[in-house]
Amino acid sequence: MNSNAPGQSPEDASPANTAVLLVDDEESILAAMKRRLGRNWEVHCALSAREGMEKMTEHPCALVVSDLHMPNMDGIEFFTELHKSHPNTIRIMLTGDQDRSSLIRAINQGHVYRFLNKPCPAESVELALQDGLEIYRLQQQQQLLESQKLAAARRMAKVGELSTRVADELAQVILLVQSNAAMAQGHASDPNLSLALRTIERAVQHGASLTRRLSALCHQRADHLPFRSAAERFLPLLNELAGPDLAVEFRCEASFDCSDSAAPVLGRILAGLVSHAREQSRGQGQLRVSLSAIDITRGRAKLHSGAHPGIHFLAEVSNPACGVTPETAQHLYAALHGGESTSSSNNEELQQLARLVADHRGWVQVRSDVGKGTSIRVYLPKEILVTRSATLRRHEP
């Protein structure tokens, strides 16, 4: 990664660069300084500011010593231009001028590191060069360290993005296994098979826990995301659970942010609802999956144990082709309310869904009628899933 300033070459940015440029319109002064300073440093010379700019383009130097008074372009103008193209270069000004305004202008416009009065003893010039080059070295090392930290942060961000995708894919697989294991338990009459399925379920739950820890540890994204984005993560899974002959129509009317840690809860609820709906419809027809925010009134909350009024999340899965009478629905879905369903294959799956919802202070409601279809609604308090207040799109009838 190239972290050099605009117009700055790699040599200019290297901490090992100790080259010095001397700029003065008096050739004799340049020759004398080069003889003395050339013993310890690589020295380049220029007889004018323009030539000095050309020298810096050809061979960037770590430090530049320039006379203040030169024809055409003085030392202040030279350093002002030099700062634009080589901002890291250390600048030392040679001057016999004690005019205060010139010195202030040199500092403010030319970014001068130090002034040396002419005539200046060679020892003073050498000490100034040593100090200036040490400052240059430290500055370049600091910039190199910051560049390396930035590169490392970018690499970690890429690792985080990859880990997030891996965690999401694993969550999809785990939910798929959980849903099918729960469905198989409802049909398992062999005690050994039932035990094996329960073992699978425990192993998958452990895998889900590890996946959540992986996502929390590695990903670099914010701890919340738009609710639609969270829900759409699970669309491929829902379509797979529904099967090739059962279409899934998805609609999201909730416009709040969902906690990233709560997304797996949403996925498990949706997977459970769709898996159950597939069984009831025998894999045929169309399912409607809708998500919304609902304002539960005080009177409505009193109808459900432990419920409180306020904004709730509603997940609803409906199948217009599978309607039964309210009396039949009451027996068919008794497992959602702690009873035993008339269909034994439903019990385990519905009981797991009911436990999950109850663990998050929610409740389940079933509506069914002949000719109108069946819908299962899951209600959860807003604070379980979101990080910001919900914007309501509809109200509880």
Identify any residues that bridge with 45 across adjacent strands, giving them in sequence order: 22
Phi-psi domain of 373 (left: phi exceeds 0; alpha: psi -120 through 50; beta: other): left
Greater confidence (162 vs 321) lies with 321
pLDDT at 54 exceeding the cut of 90: yes
Complete DSSP assignment for 304-333: STT--SEEEEEEEEEETT----HHHHHHHT
Percent of the chain residues topping a pLDDT of 70: 71
- pLDDT beyond 50 at 191: yes
Distance of CA 1 to the CA centre of its chain: 21
* pLDDT score of 392: 36
* pLDDT tens string 76-104: 899 999 999 999 899 998 887 666 666 67
Q: Which CATH superfamily is domain 20-150 in?
A: Response regulator (3.40.50.2300)
Question: Looking at the predicted structure, is the pLDDT value of residue 310 above 90?
Answer: no
Classify domain 223-397 at the CATH superfamily level: Histidine kinase-like ATPase, C-terminal domain (3.30.565.10)
Task: Say if residues 307 and 382 touch (Cβ distance below 8 Å).
Answer: no
Output the pTM of the full model. Answer: 0.48
* H-type alpha helices, the chain: 27-37, 49-58, 75-85, 100-110, 122-187, 191-218, 227-232, 235-242, 263-281, 298-301, 326-332, 344-359, 382-385
Please give the Cα distance from 328 to 316 (Å, whole number): 20
List, in sequence order, every residue forming a beta bridge with 294; answer none if it has no partner.
312
pLDDT confidence band for 213 (50 / 70 / 90): low
- Give the Cα separation of 352 and 330 in Å (integer): 18
Q: Per-residue confidence at 47, pLDDT binned at 50, 70, 90?
A: very high
Local structure of residue 266 (DSSP, 8 states): H
Cα→Cα distances 358→330, 361, 381, 384, Å? 19, 5, 11, 12
**Domain parsing of the chain, residue ranges:** 20-150, 223-397
The pLDDT mean for the chain works out to: 77
Output the CA torsion sign for 229, 234, 236, 238.
Answer: negative
Which amino acid belongs to residue 114?
Answer: R
Single-letter amino acid code for the residue at 128: A
Dist. CA 313–CA 269, nearest whole Å = 12
Distance CA 42, CA 28 (A): 19
6-15, 34-43, 173-182, 223-232: range with lowest mean pLDDT: 6-15
Q: Residue 1 pLDDT more than 60?
A: no
